Amino acid sequence: MNALATAEQQETIVLVVEDDEANRELLLDELEMIGCRGIAASNGEEALAALDGSDVDVVLLDVMMPSMDGFEVLRRLRADPLRRMLPVVMISGLSDMVNVVRCLELGADDYLPKPFNPVLLKARISNSMQKKRWHDQEAMLLARMERQLVEIERERARADSLLEVILPSAALRELKLTGTVKPRRYENVAVLFADIVGFTAYTESHPAEEVVANLDRLMEDCEWALAEHGLDKIKTIGDGVMATANLSLPHRDPVMAALRAGRAMIAAAAGNPAGWRMRIGISYGPVVGGVVGRGKFSFDAWGDAVNVAARLSGLGDEPAVYLSREARDQVDGRAAVARLDGVVLKGKGQVPVYRDDPAAVS
């Protein structure tokens, strides 16, 4: 089945560009006989105007015309990104073959010799329409591929945004570059744990929607505070938060940064509609960090500094920042802290603990 027969519901429109009226009318009659709709132009300017006003499938283009000849029309069509693939069949007499060859070199698709043979005319148009359909199919496939690539990039960006929540920035870069995150020991890391006082009792006495909305607002405020002071949020544990400074990215003053972030988090909890009290534990020392899990993996850190910070965040019932001795030594003279004697931490026994004055300015 030829290309003309496959377009039963889509009429083939052919633009005849011919300055000779008799030839032009003859071609229009022949086109009607083979089931095409012809529109006519007597010169180049009329041809370009007709192309603007109609959805033309094929152009039959004479070379020698007054004003704008076929060469110029062809150049403009091939320079137009929207029409550069429009099939163009040159109309030629036997004595005009040199110009036809020149047009073919300029990008014409075929030629139609004079006098016009109906069978040959149908074959030329059918061949041109087939080429056009191949091009249209190729363009459609390319457009589909481009849409798929855009969707892939959108999904990749969405995956990256999710990974940024799970992984510290340096670990995320390593994962993208190597496909894995190697576990390693990190020295001189400030570890921060935050915990809400009485959160379980609050959840039991308030609607679930209210609990989740207030907690989401607080977590967002905490993330802003951590990011502002250069800390990486490692994970959220129920109502608690674990963060580090100087683990994946270098930090010149990790403990002071953690202290300032902790104060901001306490203020955010107090200003939350729930009016929560938040306790912050900060420790300092070496930790081991790495990715655990496969299907649902997460980045985590382990070590004595992590355990101490977690224990400190559970002290007392009032909002406060508690520091280990190692953490206090890093901010000695720059923060007002009070030593708390007789504090026993699980797994550590009695250890020196320091409580920050929330009103202190560093």
Which of 272, 258, 264, 267 lies closest to 218, judged by CA?
272
Helix 70-79 and helix 97-106: axis angle, to 10°? 10
Residue 226 — very low, low, confident or very high, per pLDDT cuts 50/70/90? very high
- Return the pLDDT at 98: 83
Start-to-end CA span in the chain (Å):
85
This prediction has a pTM of: 0.57
Choose which CATH entry (1.10.580.10, 3.30.1380.10, 3.90.1260.10, 3.30.70.1230) describes domain 180-356. Answer: 3.30.70.1230
The angle formed by the CA atoms of residues 270, 273 and 277, to the nearest 5 degrees, is 30
Which of 124, 96, 94 lies closest to 111, judged by CA?
124
Strand partners, 237: 240
In the chain, where are the structural domains located? 13-139, 180-356
CATH number for the domain formed by residue range(s) 13-139: 3.40.50.2300
Strand partners, 189: 285
pLDDT value at 299 more than 70: yes
pLDDT value at 275 more than 70: yes
Would residue 345 be called left, alpha or beta, if left means φ above 0 and alpha means ψ between -120 and 50 degrees? beta
The angle formed by the CA atoms of residues 342, 344 and 346, to the nearest 5 degrees, is 175
Question: 121-135, 239-253, 276-290 — which is least confidently predicted?
Answer: 121-135
Question: 28-37, 92-101, 174-183 — which is least confidently predicted?
Answer: 174-183
Residue 298 has φ and ψ, to the nearest 5°, of: -155, 155
What digits encode the pLDDT tens for the residues 326-353? 999 999 888 889 999 888 888 888 889 9
What digits encode the pLDDT tens for the residues 83-99? 888 899 988 776 677 88
Is residue 222 within 8 A of residue 268, CB to CB? The reply is yes
According to DSSP, residue 347 is labeled T
Residue 84 has φ and ψ, to the nearest 5°, of: -65, -20
